[in-house]
Amino acid sequence: MISLNKETIKISSEKDVVLFRQRLREYATKIGMSVLNQTKLITAASELVRNILVYAGSGETTIEVVSERLQTGIKVIFKDNGPGIADVNKAMQDGYSSGRSLGLGLPGAKRLVNFFEIKSTVGHGTTVTIIRWKK
């Protein structure tokens, strides 16, 4: 996979979320992603960045334009040094929430993108990587 363009945005408040979403939309528009796929990507990203704020307090996102074989797309990495997730399989289930939310953020985000990977260590933090191809 070739990386064409990369940008890191720190996340520590709602304001950063607004900026992050704007930037992500700019990147997606720039590579000519369809409105449907843009909406899917931004919605998934929105869930993941919100999880950073809610569960870890702060973290970092990296937006990257990537290219592989004949495809171009956007890769986003969400990284935090928060509490981590003890049971990732459980967290990935529809309706599981440690709080009183819908518990759809992680599994929903996974359904909205082409690639989804989550790595989490208790006490160290969580890193989620997603890719949405332009198609």
Partner 1 sequence: MSNTTSKILTKRKKDVLQVWVENQAEDPAVREDLMANDELHAQSAELLNSFIEAIKSNNYEDIEAPEYYQVTEIISGISLTRAQLGFSPRETATFVLSLKRSIIQILQEELKEDQSTLISEILRISDLLDSLSLVTMETFIKGREEVIIRQSSEINEISTPVIRVWEGILALPIIGTLDSERTQVVMENLLQEIVNSGSSTAILDISGVPTVDTLVAQHLIKTVNATRLMGAECIISGIRPEIAQTIVHLGIDLAGVQTKATLASALQYAFRKSNLVVAKKKNS
Give me the residues that bind ligand ATP (CB under 6 A), please.
47, 51-52, 55-56, 80, 82-85, 91, 96-99, 101-106, 126
Size of the site for partner 1 (CB under 8 A): 27
Element (H, E) at 107: helix 105-112
- Contact indicator for 90, 96 with CB cutoff of 8 Å: yes
Q: Which is nearer to ligand ATP, 124 or 135 (CB)?
A: 124
Q: Which is nearer to Mg ion, 26 or 87 (CB)?
A: 87
Structure tokens at 133: 């191809």
Q: Is the dihedral of CA 34, 36, 38, 44 positive or negative?
A: negative
Q: Does 105 bind partner 1 (CB under 8 A)?
A: yes
Q: Which is nearer to ligand ATP, 32 or 99 (CB)?
A: 99
Q: Which is nearer to ligand ATP, 67 or 84 (CB)?
A: 84
Of 11, 27, 28, 47, the one binding partner 1 (CB under 8 A) is 47
Least Å distance, CB 21 to ligand ATP, is: 16
Find the angle CA(59)-CA(84)-CA(127) to the nearest 5 degrees. Answer: 50
CB proximity list for 7: less than 8 A, separation 6 or greater:
23, 27, 62, 63, 64
Least Å distance, CB 94 to partner 1, is: 5
